[in-house]
Amino acid sequence: QQQANEITLKPKESKTKISKHIYGHFAEHLGRCIYDGFYIGEENKVIPNTNGVRNDIIAALKNLNIPNLRWPGGCFADTYHWKDGIGPKKDRPSIVNTWWGGVTENNSFGTHDFLNMCELLNTEPYLAGNLATGTVQELSDWVQYVNFNGDSPMSKLRRANGRDTAWKVKFWGVGNEAWGCGGNMKPDYYANEYRKYATFMTDWENSSKVFRIASGANGGDYNWTETLMKNIPRNLIEGIALHHYANVTWSKKGSATQFSEQQYFATMKSALHMEELVIKHSAIMDKYDPDKKIALVVDEWGGWYEVEPGTNPGFLYQQNTIRDAMIAGVTLNVFNNHAERVRMANLAQTVNVLQAVILTEKEKMILTPTYHVLEMYKVHQDATLIPLSINTQEYALGDEKLPALSASASIDKNGVTHITLVNIDAKKTHELKINIQDQAYKTISGRIVNSAKLNDFNSFQNPDLIKPAVFKDAQLKGNQIQVVLPAHSVVVLALK
């Protein structure tokens, strides 16, 4: 007999802000994310657009309040030379995107196009700098080009290209996956390179500081984090990255939509592994940075499967099912609960690539189950975390067991408490009691994302099969809530 499911919220212990930047996104020059995704070209008269960026995508992402957007990669970032993407489009050189499909990249979407798009999206840009095939001068010039308002060679060039005031970009990556596609470096070598690049990245005006993010570990490579923390002086670094993707196995990733319960279970196990990674990398950071000045930035996360049949294997186009809604729900709960150290994260990737929130096909656009989870969770952005303890029953398959339930909670600036709950169990409804210490509420409301089958998804023929619905199975009595969570569901509760 398993113990009952029970969660206790401790509002009196609240002290940590959940940074809105945990809810960030990632857009790489990869497959159909930028070209034929966000960007369809200024000359497109069929699909409504602003400077070539689809208006429907802008509206959908604004509705998520996306706080930041990482660009131009990923692996692509360490091949990208930003000066190829400025000036008249007809004069920009074409290059080959060697990492992603070997396609020709004509650089028609460059720095101005991206930063102006971020203004339309009301989001903060996060520029990923090229450390592996670039130079210190090139990256330093990029910072000067986008951030300096005074007179200088780069600000003159920017003005000549039509932009008077600097965009003031705060977030900067210094290389990407330096242990792999970013140069196959060893951590101590990268740490030295990082120190050199970071030294010349100032904001050029001595006003707001730039926020420099070191290329972080691949999953459980704790030695990477340790070496960087030990060797990079505190005044040169504001964030350290971590990448972790959820999948069945890297060698047999399986279909995005046709998967067995075993494959689902393995994916959930891999997604839940994020908590161990965050705890262990944070513990190393605590040794060198007990005041938690440096943020852990999980700037790539999400589910990674085989591409959809018939699509370019280098384009990483995959559908998105209720399994992905589960990944998003549990991962964001982990980030919220560890918000003291995890202060930024980026789901990979926004449009048409990996665990996308938006898929497009010609003029059509659909919102994926992952989109709906992020929309429900946006209430946590910049709210104050409410610590909680959780007793959860197990979701078992064969000899293996996972915690069935996951949760996080926060209180927003208007005094509304939100609780997000996930039941990953493939078959079983779970009843749950929530106690809230020293606090009583008058009203409760809720929304739910789920579907009859785990592998249901929104298609271009049936775009709204999965979308949030009103959730009525939460009964409030003072400071106790009884909840009935259906199998494979994500729920948000609002308490006043």
Q: Which of 28, 105, 124, 300 is catalytic?
A: 300
Does 425 contact ligand AHR by CB under 6 A? no
SS3 call for 262: helix
How many chain residues bind ligand AHR (CB under 6 A)?
A: 10
Scanning 73-81, 194-202, 234-242, 333-341 for contacts with ligand AHR by CB under 6 A, the matching segment is 73-81
Between 98 and 116, name the residue whose CB sits nearer to ligand AHR: 98
Beta bridge partners of 243: 218, 300
For 366, residues 6+ apart whose C-beta sits below 8 A from its C-beta are 358, 359, 360, 458, 459, 460, 463
Cα separation of 458 and 322, whole Å? 10
Phi and psi, residue 44, nearest 5°: -70, 120
Closest contact distance (angstroms) between CB of 473 and ligand AHR is 37
Closest contact distance (angstroms) between CB of 484 and ligand AHR is 37
Q: What strands lie across the sheet with 405-411, from one edge to the other?
A: 384-385, 405-411, 417-423, 489-495, 444-449, 469-470
For residue 374, give both structure tokens: 């992020």
Cα separation of 264 and 225, whole Å? 30
Closest contact distance (angstroms) between CB of 66 and ligand AHR is 17
Does 78 contact ligand AHR by CB under 6 A? no
For residue 217, give both structure tokens: 């570990």
Q: Which of 124, 177, 193, 275 is catalytic?
A: 177
Closest contact distance (angstroms) between CB of 30 and ligand AHR is 6
Does 383 contact ligand AHR by CB under 6 A? no
Between 75 and 210, name the residue whose CB sits nearer to ligand AHR: 75
- Residue corresponding to tokens 């300096």: 148
Number of residue whose CB is nearest ligand AHR: 74
Closest contact distance (angstroms) between CB of 348 and ligand AHR is 4
Does 110 contact ligand AHR by CB under 6 A? no
Cα separation of 445 and 476, whole Å? 10
Confirm whether 300 is a catalytic residue. yes
Q: How many CB atoms lie within 10 A of CB 272?
A: 19
CA angle 302-306-307, nearest 5°? Answer: 95
Does 409 contact ligand AHR by CB under 6 A? no
Does 124 contact ligand AHR by CB under 6 A? no
Cα separation of 149 and 146, whole Å? 9
Closest contact distance (angstroms) between CB of 300 and ligand AHR is 5
Beta bridge partners of 49: 54
Radius of gyration of the chain (CA): 22
Does 174 contact ligand AHR by CB under 6 A? no
Q: Which of residues 302-321 bind ligand AHR (CB under 6 A)?
A: none
Does 348 contact ligand AHR by CB under 6 A? yes
Between 300 and 456, name the residue whose CB sits nearer to ligand AHR: 300
Scanning 70-78, 184-192, 356-364, 372-380 for contacts with ligand AHR by CB under 6 A, the matching segment is 70-78
Helix (H) or strand (E) holding 322: helix 322-337
Closest contact distance (angstroms) between CB of 176 and ligand AHR is 5
Q: With beta carbons less than 8 A apart as the criterion, state whether 343 and 19 touch.
A: yes
Scanning 12-20, 69-77, 142-150, 281-289 for contacts with ligand AHR by CB under 6 A, the matching segment is 69-77
Cα–Cα distances (Å) from 343 to 83, 286, 326, 422, in that order, read 31, 15, 21, 22
User: Which of 105, 203, 238, 300 is close enough to bind ligand AHR by CB under 6 A?
Assistant: 300
Closest contact distance (angstroms) between CB of 388 and ligand AHR is 32
- Residue corresponding to tokens 């208006």: 55
Confirm whether 275 is a catalytic residue. no
Between 141 and 300, name the residue whose CB sits nearer to ligand AHR: 300
**Site track for ligand AHR across 126-165, x = CB under 6 A:** ----------------------------------------
> What sign does the dihedral 318-321-326-328 (CA atoms) show?
positive
Q: How many CB atoms lie within 10 A of CB 208?
A: 10
Scanning 133-141, 194-202, 285-293, 348-356 for contacts with ligand AHR by CB under 6 A, the matching segment is 348-356
Does 74 contact ligand AHR by CB under 6 A? yes
Does 177 contact ligand AHR by CB under 6 A? yes
User: Which of 5, 7, 9, 28 is close enough to bind ligand AHR by CB under 6 A?
Assistant: 28
CA angle 54-301-344, nearest 5°? Answer: 85
Does 468 contact ligand AHR by CB under 6 A? no
Q: With beta carbons less than 8 A apart as the criterion, state whether 30 and 316 touch.
A: yes
Cα separation of 202 and 209, whole Å? 7
Cα separation of 17 and 191, whole Å? 30
Closest contact distance (angstroms) between CB of 136 and ligand AHR is 22
Q: What is the binding site for ligand AHR (CB under 6 A)?
A: 28, 73-75, 176-177, 300, 348-349, 354
Which sequence positions are flagged as catalytic? 177, 300
